[in-house]
Structure 1
Amino acid sequence: MRLENKVAIVTGGSQGIGAGIAKRFGQEGAKIVVADVNEEAGENVIAELKQQEVEAIFVHTDVSNEESVQNLVKEATSAFGKVDILVNNAAINFRKSVTDTSFEEWQTLLGINLNGPFLCSKYSIPEMQKVGGGSIINIASWHAEKTITRLAAYASAKGAMTALTRQMALDYGKDQIRVNAVGPSTVDTPLLQKTFESLDDPEQAFKDTLKFQPMGRIGTVEDIANTCLFLASDEATYVSGQTIMVDGGAINKIARPIEFD
Structure 2
Amino acid sequence: MERLKGKVALISGAAKGMGAVEARMFAKEGASLVLGDVLEDEGAKLALEISAGGASCVFTPLDVRKTSQWESAVTKATSAYGRLDVLVNNAGVTSRMNLLDTTEEDWDRVLDINAKGSFLGIKAV
Whether the 8 Å contact between 2:95 and 2:102 is mirrored in structure 1 is no
Are positions 1:58 and 2:37 aligned together?
A: no
Are positions 1:25 and 2:29 aligned together?
A: no
Aligned partner of 1:40: which letter?
D
Size of the aligned set, in residue pairs, is: 124
Gaps of 5+ in 1: 125-261
Partner residue in 2 for 1:80: 81
How far residue 100 of structure 1 moved from its aligned partner, in angstroms, is: 2.5
Partner residue in 2 for 1:92: 93
CA distance in 2, matches of 1:13, 1:45: 8
Write out aligned runs for 1:32-47 (5 A). 32-47=33-48
How far residue 98 of structure 1 moved from its aligned partner, in angstroms, is: 3.9
CA distance in 2, matches of 1:98, 1:65: 27
Are positions 1:68 and 2:65 aligned together?
A: no
Identity of aligned residues (%): 38
How far residue 74 of structure 1 moved from its aligned partner, in angstroms, is: 1.2
Moved more, 77-86 or 98-107: 98-107
Write out aligned runs for 1:140-151 (5 A). none
Write out aligned runs for 1:92-131 (5 A). 92-124=93-125
* Greater Rg by CA: 1
Partner residue in 2 for 1:238: none
CA distance in 1, matches of 2:89, 2:25: 16
How far residue 78 of structure 1 moved from its aligned partner, in angstroms, is: 1.1
Partner residue in 2 for 1:4: 5
Gaps of 5+ in 2: none
Whether the 8 Å contact between 2:65 and 2:116 is mirrored in structure 1 is yes
Where does structure 1 differ by over 4 angstroms across 4 or more consecutive aligned residues?
Answer: none
Partner residue in 2 for 1:16: 17
Partner residue in 2 for 1:223: none
Deviation string, structure 1 residues 96-126 (Cα, Å, up to 9, x no partner): 34442221111111111111111011111xx
TM-score normalised by length of structure 1: 0.46
Write out aligned runs for 1:150-229 (5 A). none
CA distance in 1, matches of 2:63, 2:24: 21
SS in 1 for 2:101: coil
The answer to which structure, 1 or 2, has the higher relative contact order (CA under 8 A, 6+ apart) is 2
How far residue 95 of structure 1 moved from its aligned partner, in angstroms, is: 2.2
Partner residue in 2 for 1:163: none
Deviation string, structure 1 residues 23-71 (Cα, Å, up to 9, x no partner): 1101111000100011111111111111111111100010011111111
